[in-house]
Amino acid sequence: MPSHHHHRRNSCGSDECSSRSDEECCRDGKRGRRGKTGRRGPIGHTGSAGGIAEYAMFYGLTAGTGMVEGTTDYAAPIPVKTSAGTGRVPFPRSGPTLGSITRVDLSSFQLAHVGTYEVTFKVQTTKPGQLQLELNGTDVVDSVSSSQSGSSFGANPIVGNCFITTTAPNSVLAVINPDGNAAALTITPANGANTHANAQSITIKRLS
């Protein structure tokens, strides 16, 4: 009588002798065909642009060649700060600007957006002194810049550069003669040797 072998469909989906385990069948089976490529997913959100998001420059001039409006922007010394809003250095003229960094008054500036800003200021005084940034009435402790060595020409440049991060929209920024310092600071005017108007300036850039 002829012998009969029983066949069954194993778990791999093929007919094999029932004497072999499913594990052996799956291991020895041929690779199936590659499936169709799935549909493209949705496009993600556009990331924020790098570089400078907005900027503004404000300045003031002493008497001298180049001053075409008035005699000087610095007729009075810069007093020492005694309370919020005092002791501020004026920068009454507006330079190039892009975006929403705007002037509040002659010596303070509004930062409309929350973000990180790079602030650079340059002021010349007749004697050594210190200047500091003030944000929303509070001194920015890591922003103090000073000129410690006197000059025979009465020019003591104070140059500051600092990064600040605002936490509220429409923050107000200023440069101040810090409280606790000894004396008011006089901005260096042009003299007989240097006849051109001296420019004091602040540049504000929002980076993010």
Structure tokens of 161?
Answer: 């550069």
pLDDT of residue 111: 98
CA distances (Å), origin 138, targets 80, 82, 85, 143, 169: 15, 12, 10, 12, 16
What residue segments make up the domains of the chain, in order of their start? 1-31, 54-206
Instruction: Tell me if 90 sits within 8 A of 107, measured CB to CB.
Output: yes
CA distances (Å), origin 106, targets 93, 103, 133: 8, 7, 15
State which fold the 54-206 domain adopts: Jelly Rolls (2.60.120)
- pLDDT tens, residue by residue, 143-196: 999 986 655 556 799 999 999 999 999 999 999 999 989 889 999 888 766 788
Radius of gyration of the chain (CA): 36
10-19, 45-54, 60-69, 153-162: segment of lowest average pLDDT: 10-19
- pLDDT tens, residue by residue, 125-138: 998 999 999 999 99
Q: What is the mean pLDDT of the chain?
A: 85
pLDDT of residue 17: 47
User: Looking at the whole model, is its pTM more than 0.95?
Assistant: no
pLDDT at 122 over 80: yes
